[in-house]
Amino acid sequence: MIELLREGKRVGYERLRQAIVRALELGTGEVEAVTYLLKQAELERFAESTALPKVDDARLSPILSRHFYRPLPQMTDYDGLLMNYDIKARQTEVAR
């Protein structure tokens, strides 16, 4: 009970009352359930305030979510590195 009063001081007593009512509607009166509901509301507000940037949906595959979109790497430079490595490896073998 004291923990809930501390939470009420931190988040406001009206929000605490709403969380307690919601917990009782869900069929629980545990302190942990009320604090969970209070933190859940804070996380939802944080998620709403930090919106993701707009993405061109035409470029996305319908299977992929826009949250996981990343352009594919370019492999042309990598191929050039491999060709240089082969040349250096051969020069080293000749020098031995």
In this predicted model, what pLDDT tens digit does every residue of 10-25 receive, in sequence order? 888 998 999 899 999 9
For the chain, the domains span 2-95
Smallest Cα–Cα separation from 33: which of 10, 53, 16, 14?
A: 16
Q: What pLDDT digit, counting tens, does each position of 31-82 carry?
A: 999 999 888 877 887 777 776 666 666 665 556 565 666 677 777 777 677 7
Dihedral over Cα of 37, 40, 44, 50: its sign = positive
- In terms of pTM, does the model score above 0.75? no
How many Cα atoms sit within 13 Å of 40 on the Cβ side?
11
